[in-house]
Structure 1
Amino acid sequence: MDDLQRLEGWLSPLLAKLTDAERRGLAREVARDLRAGNVASMRAQQTPDGTQWEPRKPNALREARGAVRRNAKKSAPMFQKLRAAKHLKAQGLTDEAVLQFVGRADRIARVHHFGLEDRVKPGGPTYRYPARPLLGITEAQMARIQELVLSHLSR
């Protein structure tokens, strides 16, 4: 959080000089960039800082289903649908850039992000999922945000 406060301290005087519309446009651009970075880390099956997620628990039914079509290659990556723009929204407001999961995807993402306990299926058994952080901000992304702000201000 210290890095985010440092970034905020650097940005605040610069952003104060922009109009509301310009700040919204910049926030939207930042949110889209953050979304792309987080989707890339989810696609790579790793946390935003680069460590690999704990692998999915083996399930014979999941492995057998569609094995002929997949030629029995390894199981499908996790969170394919969660990383779609339909579920992971990037929004730019005048005072903030927002990246969030919406609807039912929010609950699913929260359970997996924090490693909470949830029902496997409605009325079924509960399971404590391992923590697999889905969203975060890295040093590279903070540097990219600085570049976006500087390029936006130099226009």
Structure 2
Amino acid sequence: MSDELSRLADWVAPLLAGLSVPRRRAAMVQVATYMRRSNAQRIAEQRNPDGSGYEPRKPRLRAKKGSIRRTMFEKLRQAKHLKKSATPGTAVLTIGGRSARIALVHQRGLRDKVDWRRPRSPVVKYPQRELLGFTGADVDAITDILLQHITAGG
């Protein structure tokens, strides 16, 4: 996937350079908005960028009676956590705030405490669940967005 993105970047860079700065920034804002929507939808579907499903949670030993369990990362896909930013040269999608730590642990499959608020909480290795990434459809959609802005003029 990174090969496709680097080829796209190499191909579109000289074309975008011909646009005015406000037009380039508008294109990057549209790309960042698309990526936020696409990644939020993929997180809701519990899918990695390659199309495989997230590894399910381990079953709880003791669950509170009557408790309602949410799907994984239900709040992470909200716009207040999925931050987008754009400059005339870049479109960036990040996960901000305290939730960034949780996202990083799952994105890379790292070790972390089960409950970071408790000092004696056990440390667990979390399976890798890619929250942010590009699919083939994303690359095609980004190409379409950029071509729209290029053909509209500078």
User: TM-score, normalization: structure 2?
Assistant: 0.90
RMSD: 1.4
Quick one: which of 75, 85, 88 aligns to 1:91?
A: 85
Distance, in Å, in 2 between the alignment partners of 1:30 and 1:42 is: 18
The alignment-based identity, stated in percent, is 41
Distance in 2 between residues matched to 1:65 and 1:99, nearest whole Å: 36
SS at match of 1:54: coil
Establish whether residue 103 from structure 1 lines up as the match of residue 97 from structure 2. yes
Matches within 5 A, 1:1-155: 1-62=2-63, 64-66=65-67, 75-121=69-115, 122=117, 123=119, 124-155=121-152
Structure 1 or 2: more helix by fraction:
1
CA contact (8 A) 1:119 1:125 kept: yes
Question: What one-letter code is carried by the residue in structure 2 that aligns with 1:8?
Answer: A
- C-alpha distance in 2 between matches for 1:36 and 1:63: 33
Preserved contact between residue 116 and residue 129 of structure 1 (Cα < 8 Å) = yes
Output the CA distance in 2 between the equivalents of 1:62 and 1:134.
26
Deviation at 1:76, TM superposition (A): 2.4
Give unpaired runs (5+ residues) of structure 1.
68-74
CA change 1:63–1:9 in 2 (3 A) is farther
- For these two proteins, the number of residue pairs brought into alignment is 148
Name 1:70's counterpart in structure 2.
none
Deviations 1:61-97 (A, max 9, x none): 4463425xxxxxxx42100111111111111111100
Equivalents in 1 of 2:95, 2:52: separation in Å?
22
Runs (4 or more) in structure 1 with deviation over 6 Å come to none
- The 1:127/1:18 distance shift into structure 2, 3 A limit, reads same
Q: Tell me, which stretches of 5 or more residues in structure 2 are unaligned?
A: none
The amino acid that maps onto 1:112 is H
SS at match of 1:127: strand
1:139 shift after superposition: 1.3
